[in-house]
Amino acid sequence: MGQMARQKPGDKTGTLIICCGAVAREIIAMIDANGWDDMRVDCLPAHLHNDPGRIPEGVRRKIRANRDLCERIVVLYSDCGTGGQLEDMLNEEGVESIKGAHCYEVFAGADTFAAMMKAEPGSFILTDFLTQHFERLVVKGLGLDRYPELRSTYFGKYKKLVYLAQSDDLALKAKAEAAAETLGLEFEMRFTGYGDFEKFLREQRR
Amino acid sequence: MAIQEIYDAVMEYDDTRVVELINQELDAGTDVKTILDEGMIAAMDMIGKQFSGGTLFVPEMLMAAEAVQAGLDVLRPHLVGTGTKPAGTVVLGTVRGDLHDIGKNLVGLMLEGGGFRVVDLGVDVDAETFITTAQENEADIIALSSLLTTSMPEMEKAVAAISEANENRNLNIKVMVGGPPINQNYADKIGAHGYGLDAPGAVALARTLVGD
């Protein structure tokens, strides 16, 4: 179910990173770029973002299934709308995780994200993943393909689309700009790279 | 027969047709309460059941809600004239720092359809505004909504302020909370009287809180 592991057969050492499918591609790219060969990634489906109550038990299942297969487990989920339930579960399991409210905050950095939202509370955020899958996750996911008149219902309170870019990809930037146009919002791009995800994993390796 | 057509028009998300049919019924002298109960509320109950049962999704629910809203806008002035006593009064809003209102609007609509008087304060509402509005309107319930994880602390502050106002100002206002990052554990932790999982759930909860 939504598994994207880089597991080496027979590998019972190293660190397992459990994360959301919405950031898995970036996490794997970051690990590859840094040559962290002792780390592997397993993820839960990205669509659980729409049903965050299922995240804690999904992560718990991954932890229990892998506890004897690796030296260490690290969870790269922030609260992600679980209302503290994920943190409670991780405390029960004794597993460390990255802090933060959601991946936007982790990519941008907590202070930067807070300042950004304070400056314009009506900011709708896209990451590389959301930009790549904008049509499926936003347009079709919200039913805008069937009921375009709902655009103002969903986005009437937003002023700006902020694209938090993890990669320097002109095609993605163009897609994000087109998304802003589709939603009738101003466009802003901020390059974040892997943000606090990278910082956190570096700290874990010390 | 025409009442059934109103029901069908809501289920087909046809707001123009809903308004047209309601006006026809009002012109024909049909009882306002009959139009509301058998046309609108019956359709909303079905929509709520389908949504809770997972056979109808948010976009469809929003479309139906807009049709219901259009119908309620026509019926509201006539309902006032009937002197029908509301099931209770609910002051509703999204907490400070949060501009999201889709869920809140759905809850407001379902509450209104369910016979409650709703005072909707909109978005980005501070605790004191909730309390003073509830006092002015002799509200039974304050309903707090939040979509952002980052605005959840504001919900906690609002619940604490309402609790304090209940003690110090001799009020008896119940607080219900809801929104995607909210759950029963969180509602219990911050001292809310209830948590609504979704819009139909919020109506059932409000009925319980007013002792219906």
pLDDT at A4 over 50: no
| B66 contact A CB<8A | yes
Contact B99 A146 (CB under 8 A): no
Partner-chain contact B99 A53, CB within 8 Å: no
What is the residue extent of each domain of chain A? 15-97, 104-191
pLDDT of residue B102: 84
A79/B66 CB distance under 8 A: no
In this predicted structure, the answer to whether residue B78 has a pLDDT above a threshold of 90 is no
pLDDT digits (tens, 9 = 90+) for B120-133: 999 999 999 999 99
| Cβ-based neighbour number of residue B3 at 10 Å | 18
User: Do the beta carbons of residue A196 and residue A106 sit within 8 Å?
Assistant: yes
Confidence label for A125 from pLDDT (cuts 50, 70 and 90) = very high
Of B99, B186, B189, the CB nearest to A122: B99
- At A1 the pLDDT is 40
Q: Quick one: B120 exposed, middle or buried, by C-beta within 10 A (0-12, 13-18, 19+)?
A: buried
3-class SS at A123?
strand
Task: Give the pLDDT score at B94.
Answer: 95
- Assign A9 a pLDDT band (cuts: 50, 70, 90): low
Number of other CB atoms surrounding residue A17 within 10 Å: 26
| A vs B: CB pairs below 8 A | 60
Which domains does chain B carry? 2-82 (1.10.1240.10), 89-211 (3.40.50.280)
Residue at A123: amino acid letter: S
pLDDT at residue B41 in the model: 83
Query: CB A63: neighbour CB atoms within 10 A?
Result: 20
Q: Which of B63, B150, B189 sits opposite A150 (nearest CB)?
A: B63
> What number is the average pLDDT over the span A150-161?
92
Q: Pick the residue of B99, B100, B144 with the most A CBs within 10 A to test the interface with A by mutation.
A: B99
What is residue A157's predicted lDDT score, i.e. its pLDDT? 87
Q: How far is CA B27 from CA A149, A154, B23, B68, B83, in A?
A: 30, 35, 6, 19, 20
Which residues of chain B does A85 touch, with a Cβ-Cβ cutoff of 8 Å? 183, 185
CB-facing half-sphere around the CA of A33: CA atoms within 13 A: 12
Burial class (CB in 10 A: 0-12, 13-18, 19+), A106: buried
Amino acid of residue B94 = T
**C-beta separation of A19 from A55 below 8 A:** no
Of A85, A117, A142, the CB nearest to B183: A85
Residue A42 CB partners (closer than 8 Å, separation 6+): A3, A4, A5, A7, A16, A17, A18, A19, A62, A66
CATH architecture for the domain at A15-97: 3-Layer(aba) Sandwich (3.40)
Q: How confident is the model at residue A205 (pLDDT cuts 50, 70, 90)?
A: confident
Residue A53 DSSP SS3: helix
Q: Whole-number mean pLDDT of chain A?
A: 91
ipTM: 0.73
Percent of chain B residues topping a pLDDT of 70 = 97
The yes-or-no verdict on residue B198 having pLDDT over 60 is yes
Of A80, A121, A146, the CB nearest to B97: A121
pLDDT beyond 50 at B96? yes
Q: Please, are residues B78 and B36 in contact by the beta-carbon 8 Å criterion?
A: no
Predicted confidence band at B82 (pLDDT cuts at 50, 70, 90)?
low
Residue of B63, B97, B183 with shortest CB distance to A53: B183
Q: Do B101 and A143 touch (CB under 8 A)?
A: no
Average pLDDT over residues A161-187: 97
Window 127-186 of B: residues touching A by CB (8 A cutoff) are 148-150, 152, 180-183, 185-186
Across residues A190-203, what is the average pLDDT?
95
Q: What's the token pair of residue B119?
A: 């005072």
Mean pLDDT of B194-201: 89
Which among A158, A73, A98, A90 is positioned nearest to A122, based on CA atoms? A158
At B1 the pLDDT is 57
B54 compared with A115, residue with greater pLDDT? A115
Cα end-to-end distance, chain B, whole Å: 31
Is B60's CB within 8 Å of A143's CB?
yes
Q: CA triplet B16, B20, B25: central angle to 5 degrees? A: 145
C-alpha closest to that of B173 among B141, B206, B210:
B141
DSSP B87-143: S-EEEEEEBTT----HHHHHHHHHHHHTT-EEEE--SSB-HHHHHHHHHHTT-SEEE
Strand stretches in chain A, DSSP E? 15-20, 39-44, 72-76, 96-97, 123-126, 160-165, 186-191
Return the bridge partners of A44, or none. Answer: A20
Does residue B83 carry a pLDDT above 90? no
pLDDT over threshold 90, residue A17: yes
Query: Taking 60 as the threshold, does the pLDDT of residue A117 lie above it?
Result: yes
